[in-house]
Homo-oligomer: A and B are copies of this chain.
Amino acid sequence: MEKLLRVNMTTGTVSWEEFASLAPESERPGDHRPAGLTDGSSSSAHNGGAVPADLLGGRGLAAKILLNEVPPATDPLGPLNKLIIAPGRLAGTFASSTNRISFGGKSPLTGGIKESNAGGMTALRLAQLGYRAVIIEGQAAERKLSALVISAEKAWLERAEDLRGLGTIETVKILRQRYGDKAAISLVGPAGERLLPAAGIAGTDQEGFPGRYSGRGGLGAVMAAKGLKAVVVLADGAVPRRPVDKALWDEALREYNRLLQTLPATAERFPLYGTAATLEFTNRIGALPTRNFSRGQFEQAEAISGTRLRQIILERDGEGTPTHACMPGCLVRCSNRYADKMGRFWVSPMEYETHALLGSNLEIGDFDQLAELTYLCNDLGLDTIETGAAIGVAMEAGLLPFGDFAGARRLIEEIGEGTILGRLLGHGAAVAGRVLGVRRIPMVKGQAMPAYDPRGMKGNGVVYATSPMGADHTAGNVVAVPTDHLDPRGKVELSRQLQIQAAVFDDLGLCNFVGAVWSTSPETIARLVQGLTGEPVTVESLKDLGLDIIKTELAFNRRAGLGPQDDRLPEFMREEPLPPHNSVWDIPDEELDAIWK
């Protein structure tokens, strides 16, 4: 039986529902949404009925549940918000790159709906235990911390006040002692406990290191606001999913694996250099965020390039590795493990987004310094993108000079300590920049931009502006598309296609890098889905699913008060030319507003 686990933090109780019970709000018993706080508008167009429920997983399932159960105008850190934990629809087998876990909720950063997914072990385990989703609702009295423990047959909350204030790395060590090394753990650090919107949710990888991040949108604060320090999914009773149409699955999987192992991106580039390889490209085309998004190229780019990262890891020849699988069975292995000068394991993974936001954006050009900042962020439970962007505006405000590594480290420590400045930065670049009087704030809907300046990569600017997620490259990234990134023409349509694709992937639990397979043979993905679920699926029906997910999210956002005026890049990007190409943001608002019509 596929099931939903519902955890009420107010009462400390758990309950199960058959997945089939995920019906529109009005038909489902046991709902606790106070009538006075709903907005009264109809949700019939996007209540889970538009697409086969059997295809819903990850982001798609989270969106449906949130629209059905959460009053869109509610306080994201209050008791009426919910945290949805949903494995992607393809999760549960050992097929490569299919086991991403989605966290969903109303974001304290954007005020809209948010989904943030990551690799690691949790999706695989939940799917193998038969869970379609876990719904965390209510709020513990005084936000006392608990850990949620989940196995095949039972789930329960255990007191976790003893873990309060502990970093994610120490916390995971303790939890693995308690629950065994096979437990898949998702958790928050001190930043989440302080309810900071820059806080993400960390997840353990195969080695038990909590470096897999659902970083964006402040869902770590949502989780901690409920009184939840960690979710521990036990391995006992886990059973690999059996494909409904095994012949189709086997055949599709063979083709899928062949493509992953022969396409240049997944067979060569990412295994060798990981996401870090992206920096050379964005720097070359002038889209690398540098000095708080005031330039598109960084003088020290070579020092933090993918090539250099691989070189350092290989030179140190110890516990580091330049290629590492964040999920079991992954053939791409874009992750890495970074060792210190003595060859001892330091942190994992070292990623492009971090190198750009905490590196070039702050004019820090040293991998050991970036490893130290990454480690700190990981341990505190902070999104490195939001944190880097917040420190960038602090540097622009004159609190510390660009390039000041020790100062940047100190600011991250202050976030952990909860000083006033730390709390301010932990609220993200938009709030920090506003309070510090900075006009050049790289954000959309209150969320900091990731590592592609939209003046140098127009397509990603469209994604930032129009995604229900706010500025988020994972909602549809044009970086891999061969195109003139400075040319505004055609970028709205390109973004639309990529956003729909991203929604499909986030529903299925597919890694973004499977995009190479999708571009070559989307039918292979459709056949995988049909083989596993038995649901008749075509490429077109998957695209319909993706668009439906986005429209569900837009419906939530509209009711939460986000409108076209929020689908805008910051004013300075229309005014300030970005060196070296001196391009400005020049896609007309009307084109943006038409994207989902």
Chain B residue numbers with a CB within 8 Å of A40 are 589-590
Bound: A64/B361 CA distance, A: 42
Q: Does A421 make an interface contact (CB < 8 A)?
A: yes
Interface centre among A194, A559, A589 (most CB of B within 10 A): A589
515-539 of chain A: CB within 8 A of chain B? none
Q: Does A344 make an interface contact (CB < 8 A)?
A: no
Q: Does A423 make an interface contact (CB < 8 A)?
A: yes
Contact B565 A78 (CB under 8 A): no
Contact A435 B431 (CB under 8 A): yes
Partner of A420, one of B424, B431, B590: B424
Chain B residue numbers with a CB within 8 Å of A565 are 39, 72-73, 559-561
Contact A437 B194 (CB under 8 A): yes
- A78 nearest in chain B by CB position: B571
A36-B588, A427-B435, A437-B195 in contact; A561/B566 too (CB < 8 A)? yes
Bound: A438/B86 CA distance, A: 30
Chain B residue numbers with a CB within 8 Å of A559 are 565
Chain B residue numbers with a CB within 8 Å of A500 are none
| Range, interface on chain A | 35 or more
- A424 nearest in chain B by CB position: B435
Contact A37 B423 (CB under 8 A): no
A424-B424, A565-B39, A565-B560 in contact; A78/B434 too (CB < 8 A)? no
Chain B residue numbers with a CB within 8 Å of A194 are 437
Bound: A435/B574 CA distance, A: 29
Contact A36 B589 (CB under 8 A): yes
A559-B565, A565-B559 in contact; A589/B39 too (CB < 8 A)? yes
Chain B residue numbers with a CB within 8 Å of A74 are 571
Q: Does A436 make an interface contact (CB < 8 A)?
A: yes
Chain B residue numbers with a CB within 8 Å of A568 are 73
Q: Does A580 make an interface contact (CB < 8 A)?
A: no
418-445 of chain A: CB within 8 A of chain B? 420-421, 423-424, 427, 431, 434-437, 439
Chain B residue numbers with a CB within 8 Å of A404 are none
Chain B residue numbers with a CB within 8 Å of A576 are none
A106: min CB distance to chain B, Å: 12
Bound: A278/B563 CA distance, A: 40
Bound: A437/B439 CA distance, A: 24
A241: min CB distance to chain B, Å: 41
A77: min CB distance to chain B, Å: 7
Bound: A436/B423 CA distance, A: 7
A35: min CB distance to chain B, Å: 9
A420-B424, A574-B37, A589-B39 in contact; A439/B78 too (CB < 8 A)? yes
Bound: A557/B128 CA distance, A: 50
126-156 of chain A: CB within 8 A of chain B? none
Contact B561 A77 (CB under 8 A): no
Q: Does A75 make an interface contact (CB < 8 A)?
A: yes
6 CB contacts below 8 A, A to B, read A39-B564, A80-B571, A420-B420, A420-B424, A423-B436, A435-B435
Chain A residues within CB distance 8 Å of chain B: 36-37, 39-40, 72-75, 77-78, 80, 194-195, 420-421, 423-424, 427, 431, 434-437, 439, 559-566, 568, 571, 574, 586, 588-590
Minimum-distance CB pairs A-B, first 5: A561-B565, A73-B565, A420-B421, A75-B571, A427-B435
